[in-house]
Amino acid sequence: MTAVREAPPENRYGRSADQRADRKLKIIGSVLAIALLGVLGWIGYDYIAGQGVSAEVIKFKVVSDDRVEVHLEVRKDRDAKGYCTIRSQREDGTDVARKDFRFDEDTDRIDRVLSLRTTSRATSVELLGCTDDGGASR
C-alpha cells in the first residue's frame, strides 16, 4: 500500500522567504500611498482655503468700435481688497484695451458690468488675473 500525503512537503512548493519580502513591500507601499494621499489632501485644502480672490468674466458685449462692456464676477473674503486686470484684443491678437478694476467693498461677491474704451474694434475679452492687497496673485 502507498501512503497518501495530505500536505505537500514543507518548503518544497512554498516561498517563505519571498512571502516575508512581499509582506514588507506591501507594508512599505501602503505607508507610501497613505503619505501621498495625505500630501495631496493638504495641497488641495491649502489651494482651496488659500484662494483669497477669484474672478471670472461672465460675458462681454462689443458695443461699438471703441467700447466693450464686460460682466465681471469677483468672489473674495469679505474684508479682502485688491484689483483685477482685464484686457481686450482684436482679431489678430493685438491688445486694444487694458483696465484694472479695483474692489474695496465689504462683501464676499461683486457682480459688476464694466466699460472698456478700446483703440479699435475688439473681438475678445480676457481676465488676466486678480491680486489682493496682500500681494498674492490668483
Q: Give the torsion sign (CA, 102, 108, 114, 118).
A: positive
What global pTM score does this model have?
0.60
- Cα–Cα nearest to 99, from 67, 134, 132: 67
pLDDT digits (tens, 9 = 90+) for 43-65: 888 777 666 788 999 999 999 99
What pLDDT, on a 0 to 100 scale, did the predictor assign at position 15?
A: 60
Reported as a single tens digit per residue, the pLDDT across 65-97 is 999 999 999 988 888 888 999 999 999 999 999
Whether residue 131 contacts residue 81, with contact meaning beta carbons closer than 8 Å, is answered with no
pLDDT given for residue 60 in this prediction: 94
Q: Taking 60 as the threshold, does the pLDDT of residue 137 lie above it?
A: no
- pLDDT at residue 22 greater than cutoff 70: yes
Q: What whole-number distance in Å separates Cα of residue 16 and Cα of residue 46?
A: 45
> What's the chain's average pLDDT?
85
